[in-house]
Chains A and B, each alone.
Chain A
Amino acid sequence: MSPAEPKPRKYSYYVEARALEVTDRPRRFLETFAAVLEHSNYAVALDAYARVCSKCGRCADRCQLYETTGEERDVPGGRGDLLLRVYRRYFTIGGRLKARLVGGFTLTDEYLDRMAEEYYRCVACRRCKEVCPMGIDQGLITHLARWLLAEVGVTPKALVLAVREQLQGVGNTSAIPVAALKNTCEFLEEELQDIYGVTIQFPFDVEGAEHVFFPAVSDYLLEPDTLMANAAVMHVSGGSWTIGTGNYDGINYGLFYSDRMMERIVGRLVAEVRRLKARKILIGECGHATRSAWFAPTFCGPDAPEVVNFLQYTARALREGKIPLKGKVIEERVTYHDPCNIARAGRITEEPREILRAICRDFVEMTPNRTHNLCCGGGSGLVSVDEIRPFRTRKMGKMKADQIRATGARIVAAPCANCKKQLREVCEDNGLADVQVVGVHDLLLRAIDFGVEPKAEEKVESSSQAMA
């Protein structure tokens, strides 16, 4: 939307050129809808939602987008109704009868274009669900609508490219070849040696390890401190883990636009764990990667490997006294951002706090927090869509920026690759340039007592730049 854009876009985001050539979209959309209703469990929700939404509008009070824009199209219940209207008209007896008798709504190309815009304005944070007396999950509706749209070609190009690279290209979303991965890990080992004076190895393809490690693969490019800390935690706690060279990417953009892709990507995690005869999927600091991995039993049956998020592993090791600490060495004020994908349903909220409280002198909460926390503003994959940055940071992210500002914190710990990228941009674009956004483990690394004299303590904070 900014004047500097190279070429006009049909939607706020770029789609692939071939997407614009898809013909007969309403028919295809309905065909897909029918197939999805048959093979998934969405029908049970749509059936109920289409009946019970009382139009009370409470959801509007909870949507950070609507609160910022005040635009009619951003009222959650109204957006949800875009899809429910199609459902009612084409997939309920009453709707079909009504159409035959009195006509009315027909699905058109224009209507699909409207859905394409609206369902990429919702970040599927599911905050509105908490205040909906009927428990209507707008995140689910957005998730489903995006899948249906994807089957008629409408998906932000950035998401499709990443998934293509992962499933058909190099094998991961950042196109990092195994050689480069190993190089990076060697570099990180050297850094650990140089800075902390410890010899820690990143293990590869260890058969029979307990955990196979899947961070957001972008961490290998952007988050050296998080990775070094992950390795350090495993080292001091005596954990059994390995990186698999068959698949080392936890990212799953299928969660954001297609269950078809999500299933394939989850399947690849499980396959790698089985190849290595390992037992658990260990996800790095990443919210959506964790939530999509939790779908392993859904897609791969009850004997799918257990899923552990690194925060859970570390908090447990800490509780068991397996991580020696130098004390509360983080002096600056620190606050914590709850990623929607692990916190909204209350699954991971306390572990990161346990870790942070153990190492921070001045830890403060954002309000609201935990299950009620605001989304970073880049949820549901929007963070990867660079062309909508003004929307992400100034509209979706505005309340987040205000929330961070109110804490007065210098450091925001956010255990999620997507949240980190988005929060950095939110801070930049909202006058919070002096706020640092880091992973929880990054801070922990500074506090671990390796029992040796660090060789160059002053270099601790500069390893990120060294790597960049």
Chain B
Amino acid sequence: MDLWLEWARGPLFRIAIAFLILGLVRHVAIAVFEIAWAVRRAGDKNIPYRKLARATLAWLVPAGKLGHRPLYGLTTLAFHVSIVIVPLFLGGHIALWARATDLAWPAIPNLLADVLTVIATAAAVLLVIERIAARGPQMLSRFSDYAFPLLIAVVFGSGFLAMHPALSPVAFRPALLVHALGANLILIFIPFSKLSHVILMPLTHLISEVAWHFPPHAGSEVGLALGKENEPV
């Protein structure tokens, strides 16, 4: 068990982080390159950057964007806030980083981490329930749309139990092992799945605008490529 645990916290963690970082860097590099290329060849280079930045920011700080289903909106918000803060700012996690990279930064108090962890776990489960209950999301959902939040719930739940052995029905080591394995799995999945929105989302509003800025003669070029340039309507 100890060996497994060491493996999960050491080599596996490093591999997962490498996957995550390389994957995300690749996404950003491709997206930025594509945007630049699209703008360069666009006939109309007039792009409302400010407006787009505002729209993007409004979603990054989405208070007031709870929408039609306030409960769903609130759950999503609580979920995102807690799953971003705890992994990055829990004391134990920072220690892990420090061990691997010598980098460290201030931690949040453990009590706050506990509260956020409980929120994250509950919100992840709630998200699954709401996904099943609301017709729109339910009809769109694939297996992974249920699996990811559940996996996240397991990771946060086991993390909580590992932090509080006194409250835990399972022993410390198995809890921590489940936690570490699950977390690594998520890290690896991020660049390969819809979770890549963690890095692409700030660019998507800009992308939606840029895509409407066609190169001049985009239409006739396509006609030419298809041999339809002289075809009557």
Contacts and interface: CB of A to CB of B under 8 A. Distances in A.
Most buried by B among A57, A299, A302: A57
B140 A43 contact: no
B211 A140 contact: yes
Contacts of B222: 32, 35-36, 39-40, 259-260
Contacts of B211: 41-42, 44-45, 137, 140
Contact of A54 (B69, B197, B221): B197
Interface stretch (A70-78, A327-335, A438-446): A70-78
Contact of B210 (A41, A56, A81, A300): A41
Contacts of A38: 225
Interface in B4-55: 27, 30-31, 34-35, 37-38, 41-46, 51, 55
A263 interface: yes
A161 to B, nearest CB: 9
A51 B196 contact: yes
A70 B135 contact: yes
Given A36-B222, A164-B233, A44 B140 contact: no
B221 A131 contact: no
B223 interface: yes
Contacts of A40: 214-215, 218, 222
A113 interface: no
Given A48-B200, A57-B140, A70-B135, A41 B225 contact: no
Contact of B215 (A39, A47, A66): A39
B142 to A, nearest CB: 7
B148 to A, nearest CB: 9
Contacts of B45: 302
Interface string B55-75: 110010010010111000000
A28 to B, nearest CB: 9
Interface in B119-165: 131, 134-142, 145
Nearest to B203: A48
Contact of A52 (B142, B201, B232): B201
A121 to B, nearest CB: 15
Contacts of B217: 263, 299
A41 B140 contact: no
A41 B41 contact: yes
A136 interface: yes
B68 A62 contact: yes
A433 B4 CA distance: 75
A179 to B, nearest CB: 24
A160 B135 CA distance: 37
A297 B37 CA distance: 18
Q: Majority SS of interface residues in chain B? A: helix
B215 A297 contact: no
Interface in A416-448: none
Interface residues on B, range: 35 or more
B76 interface: yes
Interface residues on A, range: 35 or more
Contact of B67 (A58, A136, A151, A167): A58
B76 A56 contact: yes
Interface in A216-270: 254, 258-264
Interface string A70-113: 10100101100100000000000000000000000000000000
B135 A60 contact: yes
Nearest to A56: B137
A451 interface: no
B109 interface: no
Contacts of A258: 219
Given A51-B194, A54-B197, A41 B214 contact: yes
Contact of A60 (B56, B137, B196): B137
Contacts of B196: 51-52
Most buried by A among B135, B142, B211: B211
A167 B201 CA distance: 41
B54 to A, nearest CB: 11
A57 B207 contact: no
Contacts of A288: none
Contact of A298 (B68, B214, B225, B232): B214
A135 interface: yes
A31 interface: yes
B226 A259 contact: no
Contacts of A261: 219, 233
B230 to A, nearest CB: 12
Contacts of B139: 57, 60, 72, 75, 78
A393 to B, nearest CB: 24
Contacts of A54: 145, 194, 197
Contacts of A167: 233
Given A70-B135, A301-B216, A53 B67 contact: no
Interface in B61-120: 62, 65, 67-69, 76
B131 to A, nearest CB: 8
Interface in A135-186: 135-137, 140, 151, 160, 163-164, 167-168
Given A53-B194, A56-B76, A167-B233, A264 B219 contact: yes
Given A47-B31, A299-B214, 13 more contacts: A38-B225, A41-B215, A45-B211, A51-B196, A51-B197, A52-B194, A52-B201, A57-B131, A60-B135, A72-B139, A131-B65, A297-B44, A298-B43
21 contacts: A35-B222, A39-B215, A39-B222, A44-B31, A44-B37, A44-B210, A49-B204, A52-B194, A52-B204, A55-B137, A61-B68, A77-B140, A129-B208, A133-B62, A136-B204, A168-B233, A261-B233, A297-B43, A298-B42, A299-B43, A299-B219
Q: Which 5 A-B pairs have the closest CB atoms?
A: A60-B136, A57-B137, A263-B219, A45-B211, A57-B136
Interface of B: 27, 30-31, 34-35, 37-38, 41-46, 51, 55-56, 59, 62, 65, 67-69, 76, 131, 134-142, 145, 194, 196-197, 200-201, 203-205, 207-208, 210-223, 225-226, 228, 232-233
